A = this chain, B = another copy of it.
Amino acid sequence: MNEMKLSPIGIVHSNYSRKTKHDYLDRVAIEAKIEIYHEFVDGLFKLEKFNELWILFWFTEIDEQERQTLRVHPRRNPDNPERGVFSTRSPARPNPIGLTKVKLLKIEKNILTVKGLDAFDNTLILDIKEV
């Protein structure tokens, strides 16, 4: 079997970061840019026809130890009863892949402008899929 290794196809440019997080509770309102690396630009062919897309990204801030996490209090709120990570969206999980549906506002060359991407600035993008 091939090793399961990922390569980023692009990177997020956003005002949304660990620091500004609390200003963006309405994550649907977040606008961000996704820069697609030049070698993957051909994969954007005809993408402008789509209004909504799935974005898969890597939770860059999760380290090896946090990948051992199997139970969490959802939204890091101790009042929320503990659950296994597989019934949550917690970033701390064995394979720290994030999944968000975004609205595509614009494509200019290799830059996508999207709405609703709750990934921090500098997050690495793994994939974009048809909804």
Partner of A63, one of B2, B63, B86, B97: B2
Q: Give the number of times this chain occurs in the complex, counting copies.
A: 2
Known A-B contacts A70-B40, A84-B46; A4 and B7 likewise in contact (beta carbons under 8 Å) = yes
Interface size on A, residues (CB 8 A): 47
Q: How far is the CA of A84 from the CA of B79 in the complex (A)?
A: 45
Tell me if B3 and A84 are in contact (CB < 8 A): no
Q: How far is the CA of A36 from the CA of B121 in the complex (A)?
A: 33
Tell me if B43 and A85 are in contact (CB < 8 A): yes
- Mask: chain A, 29-49; 1 = CB below 8 Å from B; 0 = not: 000000000001011111101
- 4 closest cross-chain pairs (CB), A and B: A45-B84, A86-B128, A4-B6, A42-B70
